[in-house]
Structure 1
Amino acid sequence: MAKRGKTRGGSTPPQPVTGKRVIEGWHGPQGGRIRLAQAGEDAAVQALMDTAGARLDRPVADQFGGELAVALFVGLSGREAWIKAMTPLLVQRTYLEAIPGLSLVLVAEDKDGDIVGAAYALPPMPIMNGAHEQGFPPAELMSIPLAVAKLAGLSVTEKARGAGWATHLLKRTVQIYEQLDLLLLYGQFPVGSGLDRFYQQRGFTPLAPQEKLDLEPLSLPFGIDPGPGEQLFVRWKR
């Protein structure tokens, strides 16, 4: 007879993500952990984002450990709970004001307590700006963060590279958004950087250089163009 908590074949089923689990963190390489960014860690995260060519917006950094971010983690108990938690957040603010509280910043902390990596994801501003310019009603505009997120930056310090930190950060970011039932997670990287293989091996589909991301599956009448010299990578809900 199989033991309780085991699936056929003896493997342990993946544990659901919870707000507590994200805050406390998961085990990482070499005795470290992956966890939610906390207040006072914005300088370390920004330094990492600088190397990834991303900018950590000040309003997002101000939310490290803040109340707005709670909505995201309430949602980890179920999509209905997330929508309920997000509704007052979105109704009481413009979409630009709501973005910081719906962003996700995870950090990699080594066994000595030093931050050696970070992943930064947020609602898809290019998509929301496009919808706003085309006159989408507020309710439809605010529904976009329920369907799409952008991985704005993923970076590990030079001394910590090769230990698997980037893979762990990406894995946990994907796990959180999958549990939130998002339809699309995407990002971009410099053409010729070799990152296409990294993302492809981790479940993403790199688009061809300068290929546009078609948003027709989301019933949106526009797409996303990569920046100059950039290449998009995408992960649609399976």
Structure 2
Amino acid sequence: MGKTTKRARHTPPLSADRVLTGWQGPAGTRIRLARAKDAEAADALMATSGDGLRFMPVLRTAIEDGMAASAMLAGLGSSATAAYYDAASATFTDRPMNEALTTVCLTLVATDEQDHTVGVLSATAPGTIVDMAMNNGYTADKAMALSLFVAKIHGLAVAEHARGQNIAATLLKRTWQVHQQLGYVLLYGSYEADRDLSAFYARNGYTVHTPGETFPLDRANLPFRLGAGDDQCMFTRWRPRH
């Protein structure tokens, strides 16, 4: 008899429903898209992250109105990215810039068995990069389009009583999964240099840069570098080259 070969397993495309209803997380949690009822608790939890971060007001309003990440959800369910670009393009045309960009901002929460928020990760449009692009001669439309390829991890926080259970790492994993399917090339963020987080981000696939270090954005076809102040460490994760 001839040898039999196993068929390659293809992971089905991530659906909008999966992001809305969520995944089973560690320690009995559920990881899902933030809903209107989560906004207040998630915002308060963000403020405990060490650098006093909160949701941008326009993003909190979008979460409460159900518009946050709406273009991203419209683009899920297919292995192609055209649906995402079409949905974002329509939004960018119809709404003011700040409102339009909230439709490409992903905020995930981890909830416990009582549906209380015990973790939050907010990945937003890369405002600094958009501004830098415009300062380098990009039109507003082309600068906004960068938010379809690059996202910033604005904040990540887990309630003190829920720490040490892999919740933060799971939030990072699911955030990366969504952005990978939508064709993003870079996720980045920063944290205060006096916080000992380098090993955590390195374990989760990110390159941690030294305080004040800049890095090129040539892999995103951008002719400038990005960095933070001497009191901040940047962390980056690029889509693998094929």
Compute the TM-score of the two structures, normalised by the length of structure 1.
0.90
Q: What is the CA deviation profile of residues 53-99 of structure 1, one whole-angstrom value per residue up to 9, with x for unaligned ones?
A: 22201211112252453211111233100011111111223433322
Q: What SS class does the counterpart of residue 86 from structure 1 fall into? A: helix
Q: What SS class does the counterpart of residue 54 from structure 2 fall into? A: coil
- The residue type equivalent to 1:211 in the other structure is E
State the distance in 1 between where 2:200 and 2:40 align.
27
- The residue type equivalent to 1:74 in the other structure is A
Q: Which residue of 2 aligns with 1:10?
A: none
Q: List alignment gaps of at least 5 residues for structure 1.
A: 8-12
**CA spacing shift, 1:97–1:227, aligned 2, 3 Å:** farther
Matches within 5 A, 1:95-174: 95-174=97-176
Q: What SS class does the counterpart of residue 41 from structure 1 fall into? A: helix
- The residue type equivalent to 1:32 in the other structure is T
Q: What is the CA deviation profile of residues 116-139 of structure 1, one whole-angstrom value per residue up to 9, with x for unaligned ones?
A: 000000110000011122331233
Q: What is the CA deviation profile of residues 143-163 of structure 1, one whole-angstrom value per residue up to 9, with x for unaligned ones?
A: 201110000111100000011
Taking only aligned residues, the RMSD between alpha carbons, in angstroms, comes to: 2.0
Matches within 5 A, 1:1-238: 7=9, 14-52=11-49, 53=51, 54-64=53-63, 66-67=66-67, 69-77=69-77, 78-238=80-240
- The residue type equivalent to 1:20 in the other structure is D
State the distance in 1 between where 2:130 and 2:151 align.
11
**CA spacing shift, 1:152–1:74, aligned 2, 3 Å:** same
Q: What SS class does the counterpart of residue 151 from structure 2 fall into? A: strand
Q: What SS class does the counterpart of residue 103 from structure 2 fall into? A: helix
Residue pair 2:131, 2:143 contacting (<8 A) in 1 also: no
State the distance in 1 between where 2:122 and 2:68 align.
16
State the distance in 1 between where 2:120 and 2:173 align.
12
User: Structure 1 stretches (4+) deviating beyond 4 angstroms?
Assistant: 1-4
Q: What SS class does the counterpart of residue 36 from structure 2 fall into? A: coil
Q: What SS class does the counterpart of residue 55 from structure 1 fall into? A: coil
- The residue type equivalent to 1:24 in the other structure is T
Give the length in aligned residue pairs: 232
Once the two structures are overlaid, the 10-residue window that deviates more, 34-43 or 67-76, is: 67-76
Compute the TM-score of the two structures, normalised by the length of structure 2.
0.89
Residue pair 1:213, 1:232 contacting (<8 A) in 2 also: no
Q: List alignment gaps of at least 5 residues for structure 2.
A: none
Residue pair 1:68, 1:89 contacting (<8 A) in 2 also: no
